[in-house]
Copies of this chain bind each other. A is one copy, B any other.
Amino acid sequence: MPGSLLVISAHAGDFVWRASGAIALATARGERAKVVCLSYGERGESARAWRDGLALDEIKHLRRSEATSAAAVLGAEIEFFDAGDYPLPESAELVDRLVRVYRDVEPAVVLTHPPADPYNGDHPAASRMALQARVLAQAIGYEAPGDPLGAPPVFFFEPHQPEQCDFRPNLLLDITPVFEVKRQAMECLPAQRHMWDYYTDLAVRRGVQLNRNAGPNLGRTHGTRAEAYVRLFPQTTEVLA
């Protein structure tokens, strides 16, 4: 039985720019993928809508609608916690909701924000809650439906200014086969049209780097698209490669 993918992000758009390649790869393999958006990013990530004069509820509705479309393009489920952003408040209740998602999804792989971001405090807050909930879900003594979780690996996706966030990729994921799907998902977010090319360029850049680290047989040199990740826990394997 194929494993599931769980993506926990602070705002409605994060998973699209940073992890939709990984999501599309998973669903293309027939795996379940679920995205949890802790907030809509209604205050901190919706500058254009505020400048256009929309009200808070309209902005939340807009962001929800865009993210839902993007998830549909990717073949992923999506759930919105509507916990508020700027700041995203950390609480035992939110963490408990995440524990329940872990127990339900039983993810084989978890994606979330890296734990440092001096430009956006919601990202580390989401990361801390995602990691804490994962540990709590592992305990048989934690009261929540479902079985205790195993130890799914956690990967941090790429922040906007990686070096300032101590983000040093230790994994480059080849998303070439699904890059057009990622592009389509990005185009579901028209208010951030300037990001479409920005993250396309980034995929090219990470693709070049992937080719430079691609192992003994360096065949492809053009056209590779990649996403960068940081693996948190040690990889466990039976084969070095």
A: residues with CB less than 8 A from B are: 3, 5, 22, 25-26, 29, 42-44, 46-47, 50-51, 56, 59, 86-87, 89, 92, 95, 106-109, 111, 118-121, 131-132, 135-136, 139-142, 149-153, 155, 160-164, 166-174, 194, 198, 201-202, 204-205, 208-210, 212-218, 222, 228-229, 231-241
Which residue, of A160, A162, A239, has the highest number of chain B Cβ atoms within 10 A? Answer: A239
Nearest neighbor of A158 in chain B, beta-carbon distance: B163
**Nearest chain-B residue to A201 (Cβ)?**
B201
The answer for the CA separation of A41 and B51 in the assembled complex, in Å, is: 41
CB–CB A95/B87 < 8 A: yes
- 19 additional A-B pairs beyond A26-B240, A87-B95, beta carbons within 8 Å, are A5-B240, A25-B238, A44-B135, A44-B136, A51-B140, A109-B240, A149-B216, A150-B214, A155-B240, A160-B212, A161-B209, A164-B168, A166-B168, A170-B231, A171-B237, A173-B240, A198-B205, A210-B236, A235-B235
- In the bound complex, residues from chain B placing their C-beta under 8 Å from that of A171 are 234-237, 240
- How far is it, in angstroms, between the C-alpha of A60 and the C-alpha of B205 when the chains are bound? 29
Q: Is the CB of A212 within 8 A of B153?
A: no
**25 intermolecular pairs with C-beta atoms under 8 Å apart:** A22-B240, A25-B239, A44-B136, A47-B139, A86-B135, A86-B136, A87-B136, A89-B92, A107-B216, A108-B215, A108-B216, A118-B131, A150-B214, A150-B218, A152-B216, A153-B241, A155-B240, A161-B209, A171-B237, A171-B240, A172-B234, A172-B235, A173-B238, A213-B233, A213-B234
Contacts of A108 in B (CB 8 A): 215-216, 241
Which 9 residue pairs spanning A and B have beta carbons closest together? A43-B141, A150-B216, A50-B140, A163-B168, A108-B216, A150-B218, A171-B235, A44-B139, A174-B238
